[in-house]
Amino acid sequence: MNPWSVIYAREYYRIISSCFFHGSIMHIAMNMLSLAAIGTTLETSFGSMWTFFTICCSILLTGVVYILIAVLGSIVKYNSLMQQHSLGFSGILFHLLVIESARNPNASQSLFGMAQVSSRVYPWVLLVAIQVIMPNISFVGHLSGILVGTMQTAGLLNYVLPGVRYLRSLDESDRLYRITCQPNFVKTPSESAFTLFSRSNSQLQLSVPAIITPATATLRGVCDKIRVAVLGNGRAGNENIYFDEENVISMTEALIPDEEDPAFVRESALI
């Protein structure tokens, strides 16, 4: 993706093709593993047809939002975004991650095993964490995916994506039988499963405390992990592994070989 080439050179294909190109084998492997994990969960919940149309819509809208952000940056004299190049499927993955997190907003998810983060803010925290760990990754590309995912969970894409009735008609279509008859194909559930994408869904109304509190807890957890890794827990925190004088003496005696032991005498003779 290169916004300047799309706008001025009219290379519109970059909006779609940039999602399928990757920088290395490791890049595409990590993205596909993440897609298998997140996509399988969403497909099981909402059906194969819904997952297909959501990914197709995400490929287009993520690129469009990326370009809009670059244009807004150029308006405020931040022109570097217009010249940046980015590629990969990560933007779509962040879109799907927002939907997955919105399914259980009151749950928590692990951030690299260092802290538990509320699902409400997990995509945003992960966005910042990945950028800190790997600064060369496209921040705008990931941000675009989060924004598109937020739009969908807020019900703003209901006029773009096909409805449940149409998806279920595709499930029963004779023309698509070769696809729908596959053992791993998941049929579209009833409309009650899609209440998450209703514009009246109150779960997505985030107040300032709802964002600050989990973010503060996450930062505190990360700081505690760093403190323990560098300084340890201290004597009070390590009581389960504290040895008194009697234990130290017994362990020392166990390590000192007995000179009358035949094995010790034989090894000494070999030396």
Structure tokens at 159: 């006029």
Catalytic status, residue 95? no
Catalytic residue chosen out of the listed positions 18, 48, 90, 144? 90
Structure tokens at 271: 């030396």
Best CA proximity match to 65, nearest among 161, 179, 150: 150
CA-to-CA distance for 143 and 93, rounded, in angstroms?
11
- The type of residue at 220 is R
Residue 108: its H or E element? strand 108-111
Catalytic status, residue 58? no
CA-to-CA distance for 169 and 49, rounded, in angstroms?
10
CA-to-CA distance for 156 and 154, rounded, in angstroms?
6
Catalytic residue chosen out of the listed positions 18, 48, 142, 144? 142
Structural contact between residues 140 and 58, judged by C-beta atoms closer than 8 angstroms: no
> Which residues on neighbouring strands pair with residue 108, listed in sequence order?
118
Best CA proximity match to 189, nearest among 55, 39, 43: 43
**What are the catalytic residues?**
90, 142
